[in-house]
Structure 1
Amino acid sequence: MEGFYKEVIGSRSFASIWYWIVFAVVWTRTTHWTLGVPYEDAQNAKKLGGQYQLDFETQIEINIRKTLEVFEGHSIIFTAIAAFFLATVFVLGFSFNIQFMQASFLLMFPLTIVSGMSIHLAQRLRALQLEGLELYGAYVWHRRIKQGIGAFSIFFAAFWGVSQTLFSPYAGTF
């Protein structure tokens, strides 16, 4: 059982299959659900129009209202907590060389950037009142930027993880 723990459930984050599964699932879900609306709904709205277009616009409108209601009411508190939490994880990970904190930071920091971008998009969409193809275009553009950030995040985390695994003093122990 000890060999199984070391190989599959080991505590070295970057060498753990579970970390990479969580990383992949988080980014897949993040890019699929843009502004709380699944990508299929956006595609159906563009291709089929009619009721699908109305449903897509309604979903976007509801999620914009919910997002901005929560954020605008508590933005200072959310920002302060997020900044403190990210700074703490960063310092623990990179100053004290705790690999779990490094792995957590490399997952959370890009998600924080994407969350800020989503809030900005929600504010912009509320101000512009976009409909139809303009709304779809803004949705798809935002989704593609999120995909780019996710791809870079995965690449950088893999690069960092390989360097930590290969060059750590305990690399030969697995």
Structure 2
Amino acid sequence: MVILENIFELIDMRSFSSVWFWIILALAWSSVSQNVMGAPFDLIVKARRTGGQAAEDLNTLVGIFVRRRLVVVRRAGHWVLGFQVMVLTTVCIMAFGYAMEFAQAVFLLFLPLTLTQLLTLRLAFRIEHDRMRDARLQRALLRHRLWIQLVGLVAIFVTAVWGMLHVMTASVLGL
């Protein structure tokens, strides 16, 4: 029984006071800002500095990502959007309607990530429509990464403030 208690203590459902939540939050935002439109950031920088094969690799990689993303959107985009809205609404109701801490943490993690998906989708449509390549594509990807990092910065700040308020309130109330 002690082993089972230790496992449940390690995987604590109190999110804001758990180090695991903050590790997942940091990894999620690091991953989202590292890969822009399917291309690693270092490839974008290398393509911008040296051009040549790196620029061609970037054009190819982003082209593949854009085509794959837009195929899914055109075939089942409304279903995916509906499912995401349903899940976010359910989690929001559980989080703030029923005051469930784990649901609050999930909502504060996934709402901004959904916003970054919408920004990525918007850029994918622009890349396809304008047939972006080379320097213009690189500028658009770097600008997109900056926006994703700003969304991440605001999301982490809001989550940290909400988490601190939640932990302080719980400690004052003795929960």
Task: Give TM-score, length-normalised by structure 1.
Answer: 0.93
Amino acid at match of 1:134: R
Q: Equivalences for 1:110-121 in 2 at 5 Å?
A: 110-121=112-123
Distance 1:124 1:45 in 2: 20
Aligned CA-pair RMSD: 1.7
Residue in 1 that maps onto 2:61 = 59
Residue in 1 that maps onto 2:154 = 152
Cα deviation per residue 1:31-79 (whole Å; 9 max; x = unaligned)?
Answer: 1011111101101101111111111111111110000001111011011
Structure 2 alignment gaps of length 5 or more: none
Deviates more, 1:140-149 or 1:160-169: 160-169
Residue in 2 that maps onto 1:81 = 83
Any idea what SS the aligned residue of 1:12 has? Answer: coil
Q: Equivalences for 1:1-174 in 2 at 5 Å?
A: 6=9, 8-168=10-170, 172=174
Measured at CA, do residues 170 and 9 of structure 1 come closer, stay the same or move farther in structure 2, by a change above 3 Å?
farther
Cα deviation per residue 1:113-152 (whole Å; 9 max; x = unaligned)?
Answer: 1001101100001000112211100000000000000011
Structure 1 alignment gaps of length 5 or more: none
Instruction: Work out the number of aligned pairs and report it.
Output: 172
Amino acid at match of 1:69: V
Question: Is the contact made by 1:165 and 1:171 (CA closer than 8 Å) also made in structure 2?
Answer: no
Task: Give TM-score, length-normalised by structure 2.
Answer: 0.93
Identity %: 30
Any idea what SS the aligned residue of 1:89 has? Answer: helix
Amino acid at match of 1:110: P
